[in-house]
Structure 1
């Protein structure tokens, strides 16, 4: 499959619009349309879904999502230089692509989307983790999205799927796995991008669970996890002493040893601790 649509190759699009990637915007463009179509397929059957894409750049993944049959794509782009290229895609797919110019951290995309909604994006590196945490920690669950199919630096992707006892295990793993099934579905080498980043990238697929795996108050769980991993080298009784004056008793009531460290605590243990601190 050398072409996925009738539009020009991405290198021609970038040259025509002068779209050199900006480091300040966390941009690394993925130019191989075969790869962008493959990433789009990792999001599943999109024919009945609206898709939210953050940071489309010149539109490689956007074209993949549309070519793979997405009902409709809402692309949020901060870099105004990219808007003419995205509008060219919109003309080639009438009624199926809406481009929203602005900052994904401040815009509310939901007024432009209809359920069911999935998110698929090659996230700008400088806002990727912040957006993910926002999507994982809404006040109401289930969230507005069915699934997230997101590209990150590989080390971030590994933190999302990490298991207790590993160096990568931390806040992202707990927050993601509490409410989602998370797995790495693709890895990409630096040379797949223009300009090549210094490290590999990976695509993570997160499917929202109907309810969290274990009961816990979201705000309390977030505070517990943040405190535990902010001082991950310390024992829990030291790292969490600011949460309760009798933290050792609370830890034991949750079935945890006060001398454990955060990376040893499984998801169920953090949830049990959050419940003890909520009572």
Structure 2
């Protein structure tokens, strides 16, 4: 076994992120939405934010880069601590999706022993296009430019997620009805999971530093406390109303039939409660949106969009 600062064969969990970047032979490129997380303390904490009962037998990481988080995730799937404090070995797998060919090749080389042992699979490709493996949980420092698209590819899978986002995006995910950050993202994310910010991460934790602060978000899957008969229509209806967030719900429904796919928005307005129609979309919690969407399905003659 080699020392953790020297490369292949090292024990998992304590590789130095700066040394990994040097061995990779290239810097993160902010023009390609690459920012390496280099703070060891943050890296060590990220896997611990998985829910206590999360199944970590097949972890997914999107955007492995030079492998600092990959190293910590390999430690997560290969060892745990027993009740008496001794280390125990446990089986598990990690799949990393990396779109940069040079980084994908480096990950296979750096963690060759894990690849050979069947612990690690590196998929070269875009996380928005490749087939996702049957993962049990996802832990990732996402590329910020496509974080929304990736998050909403992952959330419907119903698996625990620990994801790094821009802080502003994270705040919108966790916002409650009536708050200024509350919007389509809040309703959609909270439809799939209990969403919480577990740590705020300063710019200085990255190299090169991004222009904004970051935050780690935990998404714990759960069934909503309301019924949705057509999930695609529900999400489309939410999107439509938030394009008119400063209008009343009455006007938002009438003005957005081309987005929601309602053939008869006026019939929905006629059937809805007057107090609800006077409100604005940003004051409706997810359950109220669900009830209104079901009313719209029953009265508004929705069509496929």
Report TM bin, short chain: 0.7 to 0.9
Once the 2 structures are TM-superposed, how far is the Cα of residue 247 of structure 1 from its aligned partner? 3.5
Q: Secondary structure of 1:204's partner?
A: strand
Once the 2 structures are TM-superposed, how far is the Cα of residue 8 of structure 1 from its aligned partner? 4.9
Given the alignment of the two structures, is residue 83 of structure 1 paired with residue 96 of structure 2, yes or no? no
Distance 1:122 1:270 in 2: 31
Q: Secondary structure of 2:172's partner?
A: helix
CA-based RMSD of the aligned residues comes to 2.2
The residue aligned with 1:17 is 24
Does the 8 Å CA contact 1:178/1:213 hold for their aligned counterparts? no
Distance 2:179 2:205 in 1: 28
The residue aligned with 2:224 is 212
Query: CA, structure 1 residues 161+8, in 2 after alignment: closer, same or farther (shift >3 Å)?
Result: closer
Does the 8 Å CA contact 1:53/1:121 hold for their aligned counterparts? yes
Q: Secondary structure of 1:257's partner?
A: helix
Does the 8 Å CA contact 1:251/1:257 hold for their aligned counterparts? yes
TM-score for both structures, normalised by structure 1: 0.87
Does the 8 Å CA contact 1:58/1:82 hold for their aligned counterparts? yes
Q: Secondary structure of 2:161's partner?
A: strand
The residue aligned with 1:227 is 240
Q: Secondary structure of 2:163's partner?
A: strand
Distance 2:34 2:246 in 1: 34
Once the 2 structures are TM-superposed, how far is the Cα of residue 123 of structure 1 from its aligned partner? 0.5
Once the 2 structures are TM-superposed, how far is the Cα of residue 179 of structure 1 from its aligned partner? 2.4
The residue aligned with 1:251 is 272
Matches within 5 A, 1:162-177: 162-177=175-190
Once the 2 structures are TM-superposed, how far is the Cα of residue 122 of structure 1 from its aligned partner? 0.5
Once the 2 structures are TM-superposed, how far is the Cα of residue 256 of structure 1 from its aligned partner? 5.1
Distance 1:60 1:187 in 2: 19
Unaligned 5+ residue runs, structure 1? none
The more displaced of 48-57 and 242-251 is: 242-251
Query: CA, structure 1 residues 85+8, in 2 after alignment: closer, same or farther (shift >3 Å)?
Result: farther
- Count of residue pairs the alignment pairs up: 265
Matches within 5 A, 1:189-200: 189-200=202-213
Distance 1:98 1:43 in 2: 21
Query: CA, structure 1 residues 256+148, in 2 after alignment: closer, same or farther (shift >3 Å)?
Result: farther
TM-score for both structures, normalised by structure 2: 0.80
Give 2:118's match in structure 1, choosing from 95, 118, 142.
95
